[in-house]
Structure 1
Amino acid sequence: MSRKFTQIAFTPAVKAAQEQRGSRETYARFEQNGPENDTVTPEIEDFIAQLDGFYLGTVSSNGYPYIQFRGGSPGFLKVLDRKTLGFADFKGNIQYVTVGNLSENDKAFLFLMDYRHRKRLKIWGRATYVEGDTQLIERLKISGYEAEIERAILFHIEAWNWNCPQHIPIRYSQQEVDAMQARIAELEQLLANTNQLS
Structure 2
Amino acid sequence: MLAGYRTPGGLVLDKVIDHLDPHCREFIAHSPFATLATADPEGWPEISPRGGDRGFVHVLDEHRLALPDRPGNNRVDSLRNLTVNPRAALMFFVPGVDQTLRVYGTTALLRPEELDVDLTEFDRAPLSVLVMTVRRAFFQCPKSVMRSGLWDPEQRVAPTTLTPFGRVIKDHCALEADLPDDATIWADLAQEL
Identity of aligned residues (%): 21
Indicate the structure with greater helix content: 1
Match of 1:47 in 2: 27
Using structure 1 for the length normalisation, give the TM-score.
Answer: 0.66
Give 1:130's match in structure 2, choosing from 110, 135, 146.
110
The CA RMSD measured in Å over matched residues stands at 2.6
Tell me the CA shift for residue 60 of structure 1.
1.0
- In 2, the alpha carbon distance for the partners of 1:91 and 1:129 equals 15
The code of the aligned residue for 2:22 comes to P
Is 2:1 aligned against 1:21? no
Q: State the match for 1:141 in structure 2.
A: 119
Establish whether residue 58 from structure 1 lines up as the match of residue 38 from structure 2.
yes
Q: Is the aligned partner of 1:88 residue 2:68?
A: yes
The reply on whether 1:110 has 2:90 as its aligned counterpart is yes
* Structure 1, unpaired ranges of 5+: 1-15, 174-198
For 2:57, the equivalent position in structure 1 comes to 77
Aligned partners of 1:115 and 1:172 also within 8 Å: no
Q: How is 1:5-20 mapped onto 2 (pairs within 5 angstroms)?
A: 17=2, 20=3
For the Cα contact (< 8 Å) 2:15–2:138, is it kept in 1?
A: no
TM-superposed deviation, 1:64: 1.0
Quote how far apart the aligned CAs of 1:170 are: 4.5
1:161 to 125, 133, 138: 138
| Equivalent residue for 1:151, pick from 95, 118, 128 | 128
Number of residue pairs matched by the alignment: 150
Q: TM-score, normalised by structure 2?
A: 0.68
Q: Could you tell me whether the CA contact under 8 Å between 1:56 and 1:69 is conserved in 2?
A: yes
Runs of 4+ in structure 1 deviating by more than 6 angstroms, as ranges, are none
Query: Unpaired runs of 5+ in structure 2?
Result: 154-193
Distance 2:102 2:17 in 1: 12
1:127 CA displacement? 1.7
Note the C-alpha offset of 1:106. 0.7
**Rg larger in structure:** 1
